[in-house]
Amino acid sequence: RMTWKQYHRLEDIHGFMDYLAKTYPTIVSVNTIGKSFEGRNLKVLRISNGKSANKAVFIDGGIHAREWISPATVTYFINQFAENFDVESDDIKNIDWYFLPVVNPDGYEYTHVTDRLWRKNRKPGYGSRLCTGTDLNRNFGYRWGGKGASNSPCSEIYRGSKAFSEPESQAVSDFIKNSAANFSAYITYHSYGQYLLYPWGYDNALPPDHKDLESLGRKMAEAIISTGGTNYQVGSSSGLLYPAAGGSDDWAKSQGIKYTYTIELRDTGRHGFVLPTSYIEPVARESLAGLRVLASQVNKE
């Protein structure tokens, strides 16, 4: 059974998604959009009222294996929308939601079984017999290979042998590109640091509509602080954090998806990646408040 009192294994998360599709077949469907290097499914859950005019939002989690609060938060959203769809706000109901809670299932399982702090995927490094894993958030094909990404397979920020060399990043890109959905937002959940980050991440440059991204980001941060008392900083990835090329956010923005954010969830370092389970519900709840603000903006576009 799914709860938000523990972190779950991949099998439980996928079982939960399939259960919702079975229980609410008129609004929920699950699709496997590809397979990880080790052959695990990349499962996307869609929630929609089927209206053809709907805008779409793509949300993912678990790009980085050790950031367990991310899949936990994304599954909380799924549960909230699927279980309460009929009483949800019109802002939520009139969006086609796509959720991929675990982009990096091989890495995620590896952090449960072998190495709690693993970050990358589990494909052996190109030309390297010694090192495993590509940083999926350096493998996307916009300005791939620029600042803040390494060409060494042994690095934690290894970019891969070429853009989209990894099946996991390739599957996300293929899915978004080939989808008929009209995506106006892409949010990717990471941890930690409490940041709402918008493009660009590859270098200190801003997209033409950065003021829209900043102003929605601030509104989301206000909703988060008034719900859970947690302070999030808002800014561009490169400005607030560091330049890092090949991120999924930059790629999504390059595809014309207007409201693109990387959200770094709690905390600010006391527990870091190893966030106690007692944080799951508060983090997910305040994050949902932020997501509602985004949904309201998407419906105004």
Which residues sit at the interface with Zn ion, rule CB under 5 A? 64, 67, 190
DSSP secondary structure string for all residues of 21-41: HHH-TTTEEEEEEEE-TTS-E
Query: Least distance from C-beta 46 to ligand 0X9, angstroms?
Result: 25
d(CA 121, CA 133): 5
Question: Which residues here bind ligand 0X9, judged by CB under 6 A?
Answer: 64, 67, 137, 190, 197, 201, 237, 241, 244, 247, 249-250, 262, 264
Q: Judge contact between 258 and 185, C-beta under 8 A.
A: yes
Closest CA to 136 of 101, 172, 168: 168
Residue appearing with tokens 């972190």: 7
The backbone region for 167, taken as left when phi is positive above 0, alpha when psi lies in -120 to 50, beta otherwise, is alpha
Residue 144: asked if its preceding bond is cis (omega within 30°), the reply is no
Of 264, 281, 286, 301, which is the active-site residue?
264
Residue 125 or 193 having the CB closest to Zn ion? 193
Q: Which does 149 bind (CB under 5 to 8 A by kind): Zn ion, ligand 0X9, none?
A: none
Residue 254 or 296 having the CB closest to ligand 0X9? 254
Residue 24 or 279 having the CB closest to Zn ion? 279
Buried b (16+ CB within 10 A) or exposed e, 1-35: ebebeebbebeebbebbeebbeebeebbebeebbe
Query: Least distance from C-beta 67 to Zn ion, angstroms?
Result: 5
Closest CA to 140 of 65, 202, 196: 202
Residue 17 or 176 having the CB closest to ligand 0X9? 176
Q: Which does 283 bind (CB under 5 to 8 A by kind): Zn ion, ligand 0X9, none?
A: none
Residue 54 or 104 having the CB closest to ligand 0X9? 104
Query: Least distance from C-beta 6 to Zn ion, angstroms?
Result: 21
d(CA 220, CA 142): 26
The backbone region for 146, taken as left when phi is positive above 0, alpha when psi lies in -120 to 50, beta otherwise, is beta
Strands (E), the chain: 28-35, 41-47, 55-61, 95-100, 183-191, 195-198, 233-236, 259-265
Query: Least distance from C-beta 144 to Zn ion, angstroms?
Result: 17
Taking the alpha carbons at both ends of the chain, their separation in whole angstroms is: 38
Query: Least distance from C-beta 121 to ligand 0X9, angstroms?
Result: 13
Q: Which does 244 bind (CB under 5 to 8 A by kind): ligand 0X9, Zn ion, none?
A: ligand 0X9
221 burial type by CB count under 10 A (0-12 exposed, 13-18 middle, 19+ buried)? buried
Query: Least distance from C-beta 275 to ligand 0X9, angstroms?
Result: 13
Residue 264 known to be catalytic: yes
Residue 34 or 71 having the CB closest to Zn ion? 71
Active-site residue set: 264
